[in-house]
Amino acid sequence: MLTIMALIGVLEDAKKDVILELVMTFLASYLGLAGGVSLLVELLKMLWKDWVKPKAPAFTIIFTFILGPLAKIVLPDTYGPNNFKAWVLHVVILVFVAILAAVFHDKFWNSLKNKLGGLIPGGLDEPTPEDPKPPEGGTK
């Protein structure tokens, strides 16, 4: 009998939408929003590395200002009332969330990729070549 009840519990858990729960977890706080945005940018970078890499800061800002208002609308109990002052404060905080997401992306995901190397799709980021220096002594 206990085995059947445990099996029913496992089947009920399998019916949950894992992606929806992950998105709602990211939207439930400003820190989660920053982590979710940086993860989203990193996933896009893994798929289209050459196209996304130079535009990563812009994508961070865009995704923050798309997901931030969506979070305030979907989770009004978490982010406060829907009045003008609350929205202005929310937008100001989203500026800092975008900065935090960019820093989190640069410091955490890049260091994680450097540590794990080829295990992560997208691999290591190649260091950018330094500007070529002119030859010493000049030309004659």
What would the two tokens of residue 80 be?
């406060």
Evaluate whether residue 70 is within a structural domain: yes
pLDDT band at 125 (very low <50, low <70, confident <90, very high): low
Residue 136 included in any domain: no
Q: What is the pLDDT of residues 67-101, one digit of tens each?
A: 999 888 888 888 888 889 989 999 999 999 999 99
Q: Is residue 3 part of a domain?
A: no
Q: How many residues does the chain have?
A: 140
- Give the torsion through C-alpha atoms of 69, 75, 79, 82, to 10 deg: 70
Question: Given this model, what pLDDT does residue 2 score?
Answer: 44
Structural domain harbouring 83: 18-118
**Total domains, the chain:** 1
Residue 110, in any domain of the structure = yes
| Among candidate residues 90, 116, 119, 106, the one with its CA nearest the CA of residue 37 | 106
Is the per-residue pLDDT at 115 higher than 60? yes
**51 part of a folded domain:** yes
Considering the domain boundaries, does residue 1 fall inside one? no
Q: What is the pLDDT of residues 12-56, one digit of tens each?
A: 555 666 677 777 777 788 888 998 898 898 888 888 888 888 888
Residue 58 in tokens: 């812009």
